A and B are shown apart, each in its own frame.
Chain A
Amino acid sequence: MNPRIEQLLELPNVWQASRGRRISSVLPTGYQALDSELHDGGWPDSATTELLTPLAGMGELRLLVPGLRQAQRHRPWLVFIAPPHQPFAAALAQQGINPEGILIISPQSERDLLWSAEQILQSGCCGAVLTWATGLNLTTHQLRRLQQAAHRGQCWHTLFRHPQVHRQPSPSALRIELNCTARGLLQLDILKQRGGWSGQQLILHLEPDLSQLQQLSPDQLPLPVAQFKRQIAPPATTPVAPGSRLTPDRRVVPLLRRG
């Protein structure tokens, strides 16, 4: 090949579809399915990842937990900037994250938020920074500053934003839109990845690990719920006498065995 073309191809800003050079330092997401869809094979370590979520509490933290655990091993401090709720110390400890390494910042204004995010990112002493800017309309210029700060401080930055900004051009290395399916699964739409194709869509089974807990059967429900269930029980599938209980009725089982 022409050596001049070779030189050009060496430049990082020449887009070569999936042939592009991979960033060496990534943080594995902890999910095989996601890693294989990502061009670099993990969360970009020194850049901003935008997660577009309509609301908090749909599995976005569970998505990040394996990465956070990994990041904390490298640098012990994880910073939450303007989180929508409190990160639950006991739950984090259960997931293998030391809550003592967590710093929560609640800035009073947008200016303070951006300033603190920039300072923390470029300080280079924190393992991960999670910023919630769901209610803010960040400009491209502001996004670029955050991205550059993350690059300078070699810090994994996750920026949560509202899905309505997905058309806005963004310098972030990775943009993923998160949605919750009706069945409670997390759906990921990769909107942009640096150096690779985007447009992948995948669904992750990120249900909370509830194997320890028992699935509720209606008779264990607290009283008002059980009553309500009985009333709306569909008669077509299970013909039951009016007034009797819906599913496993302990008073009935012994009779059947006797029979």
Chain B
Amino acid sequence: MARHHPQPLWLSLHFHSLPLDQLNAGDSVLAIAEKQRIAFATDAAAAAGIYPGMRIGTAYALHPDIKIVERTPAREADALQALSEWCYQFTPTVIPYKKDCLLLEIGGSLTLFRGISRLRQQIAQGLDQQGYHFHEGLAHTKEAAWLFSQVRRDYPDAPLSAREMNEFSAPEPDFWLPQLQALPLQYLDTAAKAKQQLFNMGFGSLGDLLALPRQEVGQRFGRDLLQSLTAIVGEPARLDADFKPAQTFAAQVDFANGLSKVDELIEPMKELLGELMTFLHRQQLYTQGLEWQFYYFRLPCDRLHIHTSPANNNLDSLLSLSKLKLEQYILKAPLESLGLSSSVFTAANAGSGELFPELSSPSNQLRDYRQLLDKLLTRLGDGQLKTLSLGDEHLPEYQHVASELVQQNIEDIRLPKQAANGSEQQRHLPLWLTNKPVPIAAPTAAAGPLRLVYGPQRVDSHWWKERSRRDYFIARHQNGSYCWVYQDLGNQRWFLQGFYG
């Protein structure tokens, strides 16, 4: 039966005498010193009574011919790198670990190398030829494999696995559990202080620790120990997620006896808005809109939406906006409860205050203006406010762009630039424009209400769409005012398009 997800199997190779091996020390009497003390010694040196931790002077006294070399971490790293490259022939997953260890995931290589015994043999032979000594550890997780390879430093003859293993497939995680439980805590890769604390509490083996509920371990000994424990056992880290505050705001006030006067709503509204402001402040957010819900005893719930700009994110503004909205609302029946919710937020930029707030700076003006627009739109509704801009067109009605202002794009409003002093040569356009060209009777010279006085100015445009050729004239009305009229050369009809206001 083919297995889709083969169990991982980690082989840890601990090169316990890497500094010596990379020097090809062999049988010579040689030691490696670090900070004036012997750090590593060959077997021959050990036979002469030289052991790690001994002073260099003492070593020379014991064996005058000893060769002592200063330790070079860079060369050890190079050696480990070369070993990693050599090990890459057995598996694509080779991890250098702690400067003297290689972790090989061999679960996927068992079939290719015809069983775990042959694979290990091949690795051991290769390393032996290169002159490297090492301890093996085998387990289902990197961390456990590393631990077992550490144990073999003290117990070189301990079996690799407690029970007989299948040659061609990695065992289930449970297979390793008894071995892990028996593991003495001193091998654990944690701070000495934490280990001492564990010993003092009477914990001797990993099994003692694993028997405890994980959460308790985390609370008592810190999250680091918990994480290394779960890594060794291979459990997914079952940490409690951090508390994430709610992303929407909703609050409600209930009126047991029902509420029938709008005036009485103001206080509860203030209360709810206060809660919203606290919520926004804590989360450093601005609200872009809020919704009042009016729940009746029997009737369906009514909702009032209010759009707000960051400029209005304070209690007073929100309350006055709500009051404005409430003015247009009529309570249908006694109210059971009042709800407030808000879910559209933007991150608040902590604004910097003005040094002299009494001076009206342009940014203050812009903020005040946006606040004003918010208020106007809330009361008047959409479609009552328009802004002007210049279109780059030839026909007057397209040069003039009046766009409706809605609450969503209040934030896009910028400070208008200072206008240039106007083009000197062109000041003949009328200040008033009619909403649409008004058809009029052909003006005459003397009689009739309109008399042409200036013109014509020809505009020929939009030939790509609907060609319009117009002759513009300035006409004087009989009451003395000037008008802007044109004759459409296409159909010879006359239109009034503006007034010189």
Contacts and interface: CB of A to CB of B under 8 A. Distances in A.
**Considering residues A77, A106, A185, A221, which has the most beta carbons from chain B within 10 angstroms of its beta carbon?**
A77
A208 B500 contact: yes
B455 A181 contact: no
B431 A55 contact: no
Contacts of B368: 123-125
B452 A225 contact: yes
B93 to A, nearest CB: 63
25 contacts: A77-B365, A88-B431, A89-B388, A89-B401, A91-B430, A92-B388, A94-B423, A99-B389, A100-B388, A100-B417, A101-B419, A105-B376, A105-B380, A112-B380, A116-B379, A116-B380, A119-B372, A125-B365, A185-B480, A208-B500, A209-B428, A214-B455, A215-B453, A216-B473, A221-B445
Contacts of A183: 480
Contacts of A90: 390, 396, 399-400, 429
A183 B477 CA distance: 11
Interface in B409-436: 415-423, 425-435
B369 A125 contact: yes
Nearest to A124: B368
B399 to A, nearest CB: 4
A86 B434 contact: yes
Contacts of B386: 103-106
A115 interface: yes
Contacts of A216: 452-456, 473
B388 A102 contact: yes
B499 interface: yes
Interface string B386-411: 11111100001001111001000000
Interface in A34-73: 55-62, 65, 69, 72-73
Given A88-B432, A224-B442, 7 more contacts: A56-B432, A58-B501, A61-B501, A72-B418, A94-B422, A98-B418, A225-B445
Interface stretch (B98-106, B203-211, B481-489): B481-489
Contact of B417 (A75, A98, A207): A98
Interface of B: 360, 362, 365, 368-369, 371-373, 375-376, 379-380, 384-391, 396, 399-402, 405, 415-423, 425-435, 442-446, 452-457, 471, 473-474, 476, 479-483, 487, 498-501
Contact of B501 (A59, A120, A209, A214): A59
Contacts of A125: 360, 365, 368-369, 372
Contacts of A182: 480
Contacts of B483: 57
Given A75-B365, A96-B419, A218-B445, A89 B479 contact: no
By CB atoms of chain A within 10 A, which of B432, B433, B457 has the most?
B432
A56 B400 contact: no
A57 B501 contact: yes
Interface of A: 55-62, 65, 69, 72-73, 75-77, 84-108, 112, 115-116, 119-120, 123-126, 180-185, 207-210, 212-216, 218, 220-222, 224-225, 228-229, 232
**Shortest beta-carbon contacts, A-B, top 3:** A57-B499, A96-B422, A98-B419
A74 to B, nearest CB: 10
A213 B480 contact: no
Contacts of B429: 88, 90-91, 94
B376 A119 contact: yes
A76 B365 CA distance: 9
Contacts of B421: 96
A75 B476 CA distance: 35
Contacts of A123: 368-369, 371-372
Contacts of A98: 416-419
B387 to A, nearest CB: 6
B474 A210 contact: yes
B419 to A, nearest CB: 4
A221 to B, nearest CB: 6
A208 B432 contact: no
A207 to B, nearest CB: 8
A61 B380 contact: no
A240 B369 CA distance: 66
Nearest to B448: A228
Contact of B434 (A55, A85, A106, A210): A85
Contacts of A69: 419
B375 A85 contact: no
B419 A93 contact: yes
Nearest to B456: A220
Given A62-B431, A180-B481, A222-B487, A212 B425 contact: yes
Chain A CB within 10 A, most for which of B390, B405, B415: B390
Contacts of A232: 445-446
Given A88-B429, A212-B426, A225 B444 contact: yes
A84 B501 CA distance: 10
B410 to A, nearest CB: 12
Nearest to A119: B375
